[in-house]
Amino acid sequence: MKLLEIKNLKKTFNNHIVLNDINFSVNKGEVIVILGASGCGKSTLLRCINGLENTNGGEIIFKDKIINTPKTNLVEIRQKIGMVFQSYELFPHMSVIENIILAPMKVEKRAKDEVLDEAYRLLKRFNLLNKKDSMPRELSGGQKQRVAIIRALCNNPEILLFDEVTASLDPEMAYEVSSVILELAKDGMTMIIVTHEMKFAQKIASKIIFLDNGSIVETSTPSDFFSNPKNDRAKKFLSIFSI
């Protein structure tokens, strides 16, 4: 089932084209990994999908409804299309459990007991239950990122967007976070992931989308992309990582 479709999407900043005629779709349970050099538009694309950036043309269609319009309820959309950032975005003055339950209670108006039950279940699943009363400053980078993922999951999203969530972590912490995302993929979570971790991309992706200068220049399966890229820019990109 098609959950998300991007049609002829365009984004500009001060007359500079950041995204140019982007077209792709995401089926339920798919994991799309977006690759490309820094500055090619990967993070901007995620921010457009999540409504954090306005678009200058084209359509973003979620479950047959165009969502990049002024009439769209972005709060509602962000419950269904969650996003996890490189910088965690946890509230520093709130404990772990307070960070997790805030949106479901305030935005979705769900009962506190129900939200707490779900939060505790997720914390236990990802080995963080003993940190429920800790403050963000008391957590490692990997723990903060896992809390951010749990917070997104507690809204029961249909799609999760990940923007370079392991980029600022050391290898051990990056492995912790990657393992959580791999587990979500096995559960059938639909995801769009921006990453520079090539081995992780190979392992988790259903489909690879390669961006260059704001345009999609190659779309492929992971096996085909990493073994036999068709685009010259993709070949050069992969040679840097010595895949």
pLDDT in tens, 83-135: 999 888 899 999 999 999 999 998 888 999 999 999 999 999 999 999 999 99
In whole angstroms, what is the distance from residue 57 CA to residue 84 CA? 25
Q: What is the pTM of this model?
A: 0.95
What pLDDT was estimated at residue 240?
Answer: 84
What pLDDT was estimated at residue 47?
Answer: 96
| Topology of domain 2-89+160-241, CATH | Rossmann fold (3.40.50)
What digits encode the pLDDT tens for the residues 179-209? Answer: 999 999 999 999 999 999 999 999 999 999 9
Domain spans of the chain, in order of start: 2-89+160-241
pLDDT at 243 over 50: no
What pLDDT was estimated at residue 50?
Answer: 94
**% residues pLDDT > 70 (the chain):** 99
